[in-house]
Chains A and B, each alone.
Chain A
Amino acid sequence: MSDAEETIPIKDEYAIVAARSAGKTISSKCGFGLVDQTRISTAISELARNILVYAVTGTVYIREVAADGKHGIEVVAEDHGPGIVNLDLAMTDGHTTGGGLGAGLPGTKRLMDEFDIISAVGEGTTVTVRKWL
């Protein structure tokens, strides 16, 4: 079903830039306007940065998706880091342990239409976000 897909291993800031760039290419191909393209690449930046800060390495998958007659983009950020101890807290507006503004999951959630997170302490975290056209 998906005709555009990118896998970007995250290990440094250059990889974040590459992930953003891939996100922009795919979202533009999907037909998103410039503002949505920016929202998507900003969300990708946040997710990739979280990987770098908390898990050191991980992977970002970006692909075109279609479901229930909808068409859009899906970004999966996966790591095998320490996991999130308190998910509710991590999803609370204004909460930050990485010590920065806009470096949180709530911001990413606001930028996208769908947001799912699975995290197990000691195993890692997988965040899946989607934006529909």
Chain B
Amino acid sequence: MTHESELREEYSKLLRGFLESGDERYLYDIENISKEFVRANIGPDYILEAHLNTLNKIVSEFPVDKAVYIYNKASEPLFNLMVAYATAYHDYIAMNEERYLREKQLADELNDANRNQEMFISIMSHDIRSPLTAVVGYSGLIQKWSNDDEKIKRFAEKIEMTAMEIDRMIESIRTYSRVKKGNSKEDFDEIDLKVTLSEIFEFLDEKIQVHGTKIERRYRTDRDYMALGTEFLKNAYLNILDNAIKYSPKNSIISVTLDDTGSDLKFGVADHGDGVPDEMKEAVFERFTRNNKCGIKGSGIGLAIARHAIESHGGKVWIEDNPGGGCIFYVTVPKA
């Protein structure tokens, strides 16, 4: 039985109880049930229907001369029901209005907070970058005026490299804040994912060598895989591949697939690592979650950025078990 029919049934019982006994208690219960009607979003017309159906049934059980008496008496419970219903309904509307206003206020506050955060990041990155320029510039000058003192040259080089590293970190904070904010139209270019992957493998070459990882490219190199993408999307693929290498045993094989599914391009990375348990398959895309961090470097933010980036391209990313052990990361994005 649905909640609605249960409530109608309950009302029928109360109405019958009142008509048979005249006990005030039934009116009180009817008052209470009217609030349930409002909560269950059952309109007054349906209640009237239930009222009349019950009434007709009761009347048919009595001699005709009793009918008028019963009909008259039945108006009292109906009035009770309607007055309580109206009172509760008014409250219900007022409650919703209040909730709506509160939610609107929260949304406004959230927008303000986001705007402030963006402003903060942009001011901060500008203000820190300016003095960094001086650090880089003077390190260069020190190297130039070091009178060929190798030690001083090396120290100055270290200072320069560290300053550049800080610059890259600021850039990645800006990237994260921009990825979260979403892409604007002019950021999108038609990119060939096959070419993007080649660039990534080149970039990761040293790491691949050090790990002794063997990359198995299981896709055609004689066709295009065009998608509309931004730098953020390229970074997402880089992050996922980088991750696969990091979490794979040394000298293992990573298979990379690229498939045309009709509307989408599906990218897959299958590794032979420890795999990801089911309860972690979603969580690894949250910030600062790592499945098993023993001896592995990283901030734990890479996959979170990757997911934001992929979703902002209308794509999806998820993890499945690799039948041969390990896991497979899949990414789909719409074709250009």
Contacts and interface: CB of A to CB of B under 8 A. Distances in A.
A100 B38 CA distance: 11
Contacts of B35: 100-103
A102 B91 contact: yes
Nearest to B36: A101
A127 interface: no
A41 interface: yes
A14 B82 CA distance: 22
Contacts of A41: 27, 80
B85 to A, nearest CB: 8
A111 B24 contact: no
B83 A42 contact: yes
Interface in B82-100: 82-84, 87-99
Contacts of B92: 101
B97 A94 contact: yes
Contact of B24 (A21, A46, A101): A21
B76 interface: yes
Of A18, A45, A96, most buried by chain B (CB within 10 Å of CB) is: A45
A104 interface: yes
A93 B90 contact: yes
Contacts, number: 82
A101 B32 CA distance: 10
A39 B81 CA distance: 11
A10 to B, nearest CB: 13
B180 interface: no
A95 B99 CA distance: 10
B120 interface: no
B39 interface: yes
Given A96-B95, A101-B38, A110 B87 contact: yes
A56 interface: no
A112 B95 CA distance: 21
A106 B80 contact: no
A101 B91 contact: yes
A38 B79 contact: yes
Interface string B30-71: 010011001100000000000000000000000000000000
Of B24, B35, B83, B87, most buried by chain A (CB within 10 Å of CB) is: B87
A99 to B, nearest CB: 11
Contacts of B91: 93-94, 96, 101-104, 106-107
A106 B27 CA distance: 22
Given A17-B28, A38-B79, A41-B27, A94 B98 contact: yes
Interface string A21-32: 100100000000
Contacts of A100: 35
Contacts of B94: 93-94, 106
Contacts of B87: 42, 46, 102, 107, 110-111
A35 interface: yes
B75 interface: yes
B25 interface: yes
A63 interface: no
A127 B62 CA distance: 45
B247 to A, nearest CB: 49
Of A34, A46, A94, A107, most buried by chain B (CB within 10 Å of CB) is: A94
Contacts of B95: 94, 96, 101
Interface in A106-126: 106-107, 110-111
A25 B80 CA distance: 15
A6 interface: no
Contacts of A103: 35, 91
Query: Which 7 residue pairs across A and B have the least CB separation, nearest first?
Result: A94-B94, A93-B94, A102-B88, A101-B88, A94-B98, A94-B95, A21-B24
21 contacts: A17-B24, A20-B27, A35-B79, A38-B76, A38-B79, A38-B80, A42-B31, A42-B80, A42-B84, A45-B28, A45-B31, A92-B98, A93-B94, A94-B96, A96-B95, A101-B95, A102-B34, A102-B84, A106-B91, A107-B88, A107-B90
Interface of A: 13-14, 16-18, 20-21, 24, 34-35, 38-39, 41-42, 45-46, 92-96, 100-104, 106-107, 110-111
Interface of B: 24-25, 27-28, 31, 34-35, 38-39, 75-76, 79-80, 82-84, 87-99
